[in-house]
Amino acid sequence: MFNAGWLNYEFGQNTVSEYIFVLCLVLCILALRRFISKLISRLFYRLIRRKPEFEALRSFEILLSKPIQWLITLVVLYFAISSLDVPAAWQLTSPDRPGILMLLSRFYSIALISSFTFLGIRLVDFFSMEILQKVTDGEAVLDRQLLPFIRELLKIVLIIISFFFGLGFVFELNVANIIAGLGLGGLAFALAAKESLENLFASFTIFLDKPFVVGDLVTVGGITGNVEKVGFRSTRIRTLEKSFVTLPNKLMIDSPLDNHSLRTHRRANFLLNLEYSLPREKLNAFIHGIREILRNNPNCSDESQACFYEFGESAMAIRVLFYADTTEYNDYLLIREEINLKILELAEKSGIRFAYPSRTLFAQEVSAHSL
């Protein structure tokens, strides 16, 4: 028969069977921690929402999977190690006195606090995604800009609270005295972080004054693009060349900013150069014909105009100015193309030729008697 006496053999004040039991328990829990984390996530999600949605539940599981697995690992390791006796021969001091046990105990506490902080950050991400999804379906554009900012602010607050909690709980420091000391060093910190604080206050100005919102097409500092995100320190813009530019919030406030998304029309302004040999009657008829084209176009505003503008060096200049009733650039190009083609058709029917840059030289013959 199988002799299991070796299982009762003691090593370090613990039997071999106890070591095997602890090892099997740890391996079993670690192998099943992914399944357990999903189960805990679903139970927690049902407490939040009675009628779960599949997509939201899936997102919730993905976000909470890692932090819950970390917590399961830490809890299992704690109870597994606590169930074993520490050999007296090792002469390890208690966790309350400096030594290896104190170091391990504090390391474990820091890891546990970090896991709970990580869990809180993931919960903030989930709820912000839920709210943002509901806002996106409506017309609250400002909320789509403000929610990511509040989300990042809540994350920073969680990290700060965890940091001070760790100082007080793990290292047993007086948090009140530390906060009071920060007040004395606040001036030095403000001077050192002057630029960062300016950008932070500028971000609040952006949210309160609302010169632009996420999604607007703006031009600032010679850069044109769509605003994708407004953060604590900077604003991210996707340029027309599809590159990604990050500008400090202070620059967004202090520099002249043109918000193209707030305009009601797009303006077209160009010159048509005609030859000086063109008769005045044809010139008048051509100008009136352009005005009719602009007036009959449903996509042009009533402020559109065409007139004899100036006498150029080599041509008579007609200025054509119209406002396309659209804010989309691609639609504006199509409207402008339509008007240009009709003007070209009018010129061909009227027998009008456009002038090229040219110069006329006059040579005068000088007689010998005048020399």
Domain spans, the chain:
5-86+93-187, 192-262, 266-350
> Does domain 266-350 match CATH 1.20.1290.10?
no
Which residue in 153, 134, 154 sits closest to 144, CA to CA? 134
Count other C-beta atoms under 10 Å from residue 37's C-beta.
20
| The model scores a pTM over 0.75 | no
Residue stretches of the chain with pLDDT short of 50: 1-2, 137-139, 142, 187
The predicted pLDDT at position 1 comes to 41
Question: Which fold is adopted by the domain 192-262?
Answer: SH3 type barrels. (2.30.30)
The predicted pLDDT at position 4 comes to 57
The predicted pLDDT at position 94 comes to 59
Report the greatest alpha carbon distance in the chain.
Answer: 147
Phi, psi of 138 (to 5 degrees): -105, -155
Report d(CA 300, CA 303) in Å as an integer. Answer: 8
Asked whether this chain's domains 192-262 and 266-350 adopt the same fold, the reply is no
Report d(CA 313, CA 315) in Å as an integer. Answer: 6
The predicted pLDDT at position 262 comes to 83
Report d(CA 172, CA 4) in Å as an integer. Answer: 48
Query: Do the beta carbons of residue 146 and residue 207 sit within 8 Å?
Result: yes
Which residue in 217, 212, 287, 305 sits closest to 253, CA to CA? 212
- pLDDT digit string, tens, across residues 164-190: 888 887 777 776 676 666 555 554 555
Q: Which residues pair with 319 in a beta bridge?
A: 271, 307
The predicted pLDDT at position 2 comes to 45
